[in-house]
Amino acid sequence: MKNNKKRNLLLSLILAAVCLVFLLYVDKFQHYSMLASVLKKGAIYSLVAVSLNLLNGFTGLFSLGQAGFMMIGAYTYAILTIPVESRSAVYQYFDGGIVQFCLPMIVALVLAGIVPMIFAWLIGLPVLKLKSDYLAIATLGFAEIMRAIIQWKQVGPLTNASNLLKKFANFDSVLFPFIISGICIAIIVLIINSTYGRAFKAIRDDEIAAEAMGINLAKHKMQAFMISSFFAGIGGALLAMFQSSLQANTFTSTMTYEILLIVVIGGIGSITGSILGSFLYIACSEWWLRFLDDPMPYIGVNIPFMRGGFRMLVFSVVIMIVVLFFRKGIMGDHEFSWDGIINWFGKLFKKREKPTKEVASK
Amino acid sequence: MHDAAYFIQLLLSGVTVGSLYALIAIGYTMVYGILRLINFAHGDIFMMAGFFMVYISATCSLAISIPLVLILTVVLGVLIEKAAYKPLRTAPRMSVMISAIGVSYLLQNLATYITGGIARAYPDITFLTKVMQVGGLSIKRITIITPILTIVLVAILVVLIQKTKIGMAMRAVSRDFETSQLMGIKINSVISMTFVIGSFLAGVASILYFANYGQVSPMIGAMPGLKAFVAAVFGGIGSIPGAVIGAFIIGICESFIKANENIAVFSNAFTFALLIIILLCKPNGLFGEKLTEKV
Amino acid sequence: MKKFIAMLLALVMALSLVACGGQSGDADNNDNSASGDKVVKIGIFEPTSGQNAAGGKKEILGIEYANSIKPTVTIGGEEYTVQLITADNASDAAKAPTAAQTLISQGVSVVIGTYGSGCAIAAGDLFKEAQIPAIGTSCTNPQVTLDNDFYFRVSYIDPFQGAVMANFANKEKGSVNCALIIESGDDYSAGFGNYFQQEMERLGGKATVLEFQKGETDFSTIMASVKSAGYDGIFAPVSIETAAMIISQARDAGITCPIMAGDTWDDISIAQRTGDKATDIFFSAFFDADDTTNEAGKAFVEGFKAWVAEDNTRIENNGGTAEAISSVTPCGYDAYMAAVYAIEAAGSTDGVAIRDALVSLNVPGLITGDLSFDENGDAVKTYAVIKTIKDGEIVYYSTYNG
């Protein structure tokens, strides 16, 4: 057993080193490639998907407000990091806006988590009393309400109403989103493996039984809701940085659905599943399946049905197949572990060996 | 500063929009009453009905295309139920809802693909869009026809549910799914019937809605769909008169909010605020029946 | 079994990430060295879906037609074939950055586009960071090129267009108390409306803003307000899709005042959809297809009509007819020509070199006039056409020369 631990640690270190070298290579030599862009966006979506999974998969709260919290995080970050000298250009219809200072990136990033968390607390007070699908529609509604508030002219000096925010502090390196997402996901994993996490899972499996065992339902649900919003906010801020411009219209319910589908593809209740799902989803939708939008005249054939929009059609059919027939997604509710992989390879090996032995004995 | 004609105009446009929400809301409330499923794809069925009309009327006359559109919409609704919801009947509620979201996504992408992402002009149904002048007001025929048609259809539906055998079965299933199954009710046909009615009404709503605004685009179904759902919750899920009244209230409020420049941005958000307030104050809606949580 | 599939997926993903990474890396290297294969990539950054798709497709037609006229460039005595790469920004400022990144990652030398200022502004900084010059077609908001020395533009800008339309409304149509219908959150709509309002107020008139949300279809409440307040003109700088609804709902509500707008409305589909309701409609445009004094324009109109008629997809993208020419199409043509001339002047496919060439570029006799860029990167334009809709056709109304 001890041996296994050492071996696993070593394997993990090797994997981490390989990833690091790979990212550094991409950062250095393929800075503007599709690969770099997919990696960045995938890392950001991983964080958001994991934060939603914490809520849907681990606590059993079906929330559809994730895009709303991302939006608050993104706005918090953007508003606080636009350089003072650029403000008059950005807030051109609001005389430069009312915020006339600029915070360092990391401080703003932390605040981008804290502000949505406060909003989550406020929203959670009334909403978390609701049951499953009512909760879903109420959180969806809150996301829409918050979007409307941000777009309201009267708060324009703060949020620039529905106009674009830009020129805020940005990242350039491919590594940056990986580091931030990595730290955040690590914290989420720690939370899930703590007593809090066990309480969350108990609530998911059976609310009434959990309450009977002395778990304070309201308190734990609120905690899960706030933690999830915190990380969704940071994810939103990262997304704003990735796009280098920000508009409230980005964060519609469609975005929440997209994240929810990622969680489903990865496996509800699996952190590694959500991460894998994010990279797979982003890579497919923005890169690998792009050829489907093109009738491919250059290889000599003209496939008439392959034109703009076909990619998304194929993609949504694939998603429906996953939802209907592979309900557990890639990982089910399992996590990635070296033991699992080695055992699995072992099994695969044994299965192949067995019949040959039988044949031999005959 | 505004005259009476202004307020009547606002009220009329609110009633028109409200009655269209009502027709869509019935589909939501019936499906939710029976399956406990928010059919997120319902708004997109409404959108697809619009596109059916665009493409069918290109070759057929209106007299043929209107019934054809309604039939196709019903077929689509039932098909979705069979393909995407029926296999998940024993699955957790979250899975079915995710499936509904997936179907909605699929229909939107399908429509985007077919139309190339451009809004299509809806055929001009002059019978509906003719403008009448009544004492300083310009009123489209559709403004008058829509509420009347809605009330007639709802009345028929209420009779259907209260007086007929299939209506009784529906009520039984919505009260207790398993027991009614044990009593020999054919669950599947009841559910199909629900989707037939819901989709039919969505089809009717789509004809009235798009004839009024003149064009269909792939993403147009989502918002009216969600608002209709809120109307259904507002009126008390499972209650048809409740859904209709909820829809009228939402339609009229929305019309007045939109008219005020300072708060017009909240025209969509208002609906959700209303939803949250009603859920907190009167969780079963205006006319909903109290349900106890079973352990 | 499921586990097996799961692992296989993960493995395939990991491997292909690496494999594709390698491939695109090679491609990048080729582009940077600009030798070996003789291809210059020009990116088309336009909406082919969403509410501006109709306009975007017409601009792409202009670019493709220009490409058919001049399919190669000469760099350092060698012939290079121009390869056009299209990315759809879906008329959505939120999706524009991804589309821009697609183009950047494919190693384009110049980007042409886009229709709609919101998308151009949202993607501008990405082009700037990647040091790829972009040539705006009909994105008229001044913010597009401001503070961005890699963004250029062949069309006139909103302060000019806003002033032209305000003068027209105030002096020619006598609309001194206008309703200004704009889409909230759209940079084109808000910016253009703002300049119109400023000029209107300078002339002693009034313009009251009435906002609507993205995706709105019901304008009956807005029309009720217009009617009740008794505005004597409507100015609606909105997208093509919204335009048809605003026109027909205004006329249905019994509003008879002139409806005015900007360059987006120069699209035959608006006339087709509104039918006999399209009365008293006026909008500014970049180009008049019937202008017989414009030699380059005449040649373009003839050539383009024949070119569109060759292919059914082209006809469909041009709004179902080969006869109408939207004034954004020549913008696409001019932008392509500017790009090609700049590449030849730079003698390289390097972004910075092309940018420097664009700064000092001077091309006489393009379709929308002589082309040179001012210190912001905007084309120097003092000429606008005002058009109207008559019997379902878009026709010339007057010219503004200032």
CB contact under 8 A, C212 and B223: no
Is B278 within 8 Å of chain A by CB?
A: no
Lowest mean pLDDT among B127-136, C139-148, C233-242: B127-136
Other chains touching B, judged by 3 or more CB pairs under 8 Å: A, C
* Residue C270 and residue C291 in contact, taking contact as beta carbons nearer than 8 Å: no
Give the residue-averaged pLDDT of A135-162.
88
| Identity of the residue in B102, B106, B113 whose CB atom sits nearest the CB atom of A310 | B113
pLDDT tens digits for range C152-206? 999 888 899 999 999 999 988 888 999 999 888 788 888 899 999 999 999 999 9
CB contact under 8 A, C94 and A29: no
Is B39 within 8 Å of chain A by CB?
A: no
pLDDT tens digits for range C315-347? 888 888 888 888 889 999 999 999 999 999 998
Peptide bond into B179 cis (omega under 30): no
Structure tokens at A82: 């636009």
CB contact under 8 A, C21 and A32: no
Chain C hits for A244, CB-CB cut-off 8 Å, are: 97, 125-126, 129
Residue B215, SS3 per DSSP: strand
User: In chain A, whose CA is at the least distance from the CA of B114?
Assistant: A309
User: In chain C, whose CA is at the least distance from the CA of A151?
Assistant: C185
pLDDT tens digits for range A27-61? 887 777 778 888 999 999 999 999 999 998 899 88
Structure tokens at B143: 């403004």
Mean pLDDT over all residues of chain C? 84
CB contact under 8 A, B105 and A126: no
pLDDT tens digits for range B189-237? 999 999 999 999 999 999 999 998 888 988 888 888 888 988 988 888 7
Task: Look at strands C78-88 and C39-46 and give their pairing.
Answer: parallel
DSSP string, B224-256: HHHHHHHHHHHH-TT-HHHHHHHHHHHHHHHHH
pLDDT at C12: 53
Structure tokens at A132: 């499953």
Above 80 in pLDDT, residue B273?
A: yes
Residues above pLDDT 90, as percent of chain A = 33
Above 70 in pLDDT, residue C300?
A: yes
Cα gap A319→A280, rounded to integer Å: 12
Question: In angstroms, what separates the C-alpha of B289 from chain A's closest C-alpha?
Answer: 16
pLDDT at C9: 53
Which residues have a Cβ under 8 Å from the Cβ of A215 and sit 6 or more positions away? A199, A202, A203
Model confidence at A236, pLDDT cuts 50, 70, 90, reads: very high
User: In chain A, whose CA is at the least distance from the CA of C27?
Assistant: A33
pLDDT at A277: 92
Is C184 within 8 Å of chain B by CB?
A: yes
Count A/B contacts: CB-CB distance under 8 Å: 125
* Residue C266 and residue C394 in contact, taking contact as beta carbons nearer than 8 Å: yes
Give the residue-averaged pLDDT of A10-16.
87
Burial class (CB in 10 A: 0-12, 13-18, 19+), C176: middle
Cα gap A158→A91, rounded to integer Å: 9
pLDDT tens digits for range C246-257? 999 999 888 999
User: In chain C, whose CA is at the least distance from the CA of A347?
Assistant: C4
Mean pLDDT over all residues of chain A? 85
User: What topology does CATH give the domain C159-285?
Assistant: Rossmann fold (3.40.50)
Other chains touching A, judged by 3 or more CB pairs under 8 Å: B, C
Q: Which residues of B touch C (CB under 8 A)?
A: 1-3, 5-6, 9-10, 13, 16-17, 112, 116-119, 121, 124, 129, 131, 133, 138, 140, 213-215, 217, 219-220, 223, 255-256, 258-259, 261, 264-265, 267-268
Find which of B213, B220, B260 to mutate to test the C interface (most C CBs within 10 Å of its CB): B213
Chain B hits for A63, CB-CB cut-off 8 Å, are: none
More confident residue, A263 or B175: A263
| φ and ψ of B281, to 5 deg | -85, -40
pLDDT at A136: 87
- The candidate with the shortest Cα–Cα distance to B41, out of A223, B33, B49, is B49
pLDDT at C147: 82
* Residue C237 and residue C264 in contact, taking contact as beta carbons nearer than 8 Å: yes
Is C253 within 8 Å of chain B by CB?
A: yes
Task: Look at strands C72-75 and C78-88 and give their pairing.
Answer: antiparallel
Which residues have a Cβ under 8 Å from the Cβ of B177 and sit 6 or more positions away? B34, B187
- What CATH homologous superfamily does C37-156+296-381 map to? Response regulator (3.40.50.2300)
| φ and ψ of A301, to 5 deg | -105, 155
Residues above pLDDT 70, as percent of chain B = 97
* Residue A22 and residue A33 in contact, taking contact as beta carbons nearer than 8 Å: no
Domain range annotation of chain C: 37-156+296-381, 159-285
Cα gap C92→C52, rounded to integer Å: 9
CB contact under 8 A, A148 and B266: yes
Chain C hits for A92, CB-CB cut-off 8 Å, are: 143
Model confidence at C21, pLDDT cuts 50, 70, 90, reads: very low
CB contact under 8 A, A332 and C2: yes
Which residues have a Cβ under 8 Å from the Cβ of A126 and sit 6 or more positions away? B276, B280
Which residues have a Cβ under 8 Å from the Cβ of A271 and sit 6 or more positions away? A50, A53, A185, A188, A189, A192, A335
pLDDT at C402: 67
pLDDT at B34: 85
Is C256 within 8 Å of chain B by CB?
A: no
pLDDT at A304: 67
Chain B hits for C99, CB-CB cut-off 8 Å, are: none
Query: Angle at the Cα of C216 (from B225 to C270), degrees rounded to 5?
Result: 125
Above 50 in pLDDT, residue C17?
A: no
Chain A hits for B271, CB-CB cut-off 8 Å, are: 141
CB contact under 8 A, C221 and B219: no
Cα gap C183→C186, rounded to integer Å: 6
| Identity of the residue in C10, C24, C146 whose CB atom sits nearest the CB atom of A34 | C24
Four-residue CA torsion sign, B188, B191, B195, B201? positive
pLDDT at C26: 37
* Residue B171 and residue C287 in contact, taking contact as beta carbons nearer than 8 Å: no
| Identity of the residue in A33, A172, A279 whose CB atom sits nearest the CB atom of C13 | A279
Half-sphere exposure of A315 (CA within 13 A, CB side): 26
Give kind and range of the element (H or E) at residue B172: helix B165-175
Is residue B2 included in any domain, yes or no? no
Question: In angstroms, what separates the C-alpha of B198 from chain C's closest C-alpha?
Answer: 23
Is residue B32 included in any domain, yes or no? yes
* Residue A319 and residue A262 in contact, taking contact as beta carbons nearer than 8 Å: no
Print the domain residue range for B207: 24-220
Chain B hits for C220, CB-CB cut-off 8 Å, are: 9, 13, 16, 255
CB contact under 8 A, C228 and B5: yes
pLDDT at A250: 84
pLDDT tens digits for range B17-62? 999 999 999 888 888 888 888 888 999 999 999 999 999 998 888 8
Cβ count near A28 (within 10 Å):
10
- The candidate with the shortest Cα–Cα distance to C106, out of C26, C46, C202, is C26
Please report, as a single letter, which amino acid is at residue B276: I
Q: Supply the pTM of this predicted model.
A: 0.87
Are C37-156+296-381 and C159-285 the same fold in CATH? Answer: yes
Model confidence at A299, pLDDT cuts 50, 70, 90, reads: low
CB contact under 8 A, C227 and B17: no
Above 80 in pLDDT, residue A353?
A: no
Is C28 within 8 Å of chain A by CB?
A: yes
Residues above pLDDT 90, as percent of chain C = 30
Cα gap C45→C26, rounded to integer Å: 24
Cα gap A237→A255, rounded to integer Å: 15
Number of domains forming the structure of chain B:
1
> Distance between terminal CA atoms of chain A?
37
| φ and ψ of B229, to 5 deg | -60, -45
More confident residue, C19 or B267: B267
Cα gap A60→C158, rounded to integer Å: 51
Cα gap B166→C65, rounded to integer Å: 62
Please report, as a single letter, which amino acid is at residue C8: L
Cα gap C119→C94, rounded to integer Å: 8
On whether ipTM exceeds 0.90, the answer is no
